[in-house]
Amino acid sequence: MIPATRLFQMQQIKLFQKTIPATRLIPRMAEPDEYPWEHCRLFDTKTADALFTRLANELDFAQNTIFVGGRAVLERRLTCWQSELCYTYSGTRRMPAPFSPTVLEIKAAVETKLGVTFDGLLCNLYRNGHDQIGWHSDDEKDLRKPNIASLSFGAPRKFRFRHKYRASRDAHRAATGSGWVAEYVLQSGDLVHMYDNCQSAYQHSIPCEKTVKEPRINLTFRVLTN
């Protein structure tokens, strides 16, 4: 559970949202429309603000243990899982929990926008810029279709894609000088839709940004059944 003081801090998000920079994409080498992902604004700032506050009060976040290279480590963010089904990633099994009311509203908006039905949701809470998620692909065997819709609420954060395989990364770095292929500054209300070979050919991450003091909630909708 998040303590009340933390929720109060989250509600202060309105104060800084006035100064957020425009969303930015830095494409490298390939044109953006060649990539197996799309990025757009789904909710305006006022709506996203209100949804952030509701989600912060509604979601039951906790810091979980995962296994990396056989070693137990605490996740560098808080998470919760909502679905009728279990979900296993990084050696940890998440048990079923019902979709909460605000999540159901957002889920309906995303499904209308993308024409995809989602039956699983991983919620992430980044308490500040120290919280992060390292390079990974969402390619667990529980996921039936390569369709992931990722929604951002709260503090703007960088979000990067890179090639999954070292040989492609090395070739890309030799050609461009950069280890990653695209970077977005995700704003509150933004949607990133990952599809086709996004998880089999690319990895993504939210890097640490020590100057970010405010929290961000991310909803990552997934497809577990057909």
Ligand X SMILES: O=C(O)CCC(=O)C(=O)O
Write out the residues near ligand X by the rule CB under 6 A.
Answer: 122, 124, 133, 138, 150, 159, 204, 206, 218, 220
Nearer Cβ to ligand X (124/188): 124
Q: In angstroms, what is the minimal distance from the CB of 39 to ligand X?
A: 11
The tokens for 173 are 């770095």
Nearer Cβ to ligand X (138/214): 138
Q: In angstroms, what is the minimal distance from the CB of 175 to ligand X?
A: 26
Nearer Cβ to ligand X (174/201): 201
Burial 134-147 (b: 16+ CB within 10 A, else e): ebeebeeebbeebb
Residue nearest ligand X (C-beta atom) = 218
Find, among 203, 196, 219, the residue nearest to 38 by Cα: 196
Length of the chain: 226
Nearer Cβ to ligand X (76/213): 76
- Can you tell me the distance from the alpha carbon of 8 to that of 47, in angstroms, rounded to the nearest whole number? 18
Nearer Cβ to ligand X (100/187): 187
- Can you tell me the distance from the alpha carbon of 208 to that of 27, in angstroms, rounded to the nearest whole number? 20
Alpha-carbon distances, residue 196 vs 19, 23, 136, 208, 224 (angstroms): 35, 24, 16, 28, 16
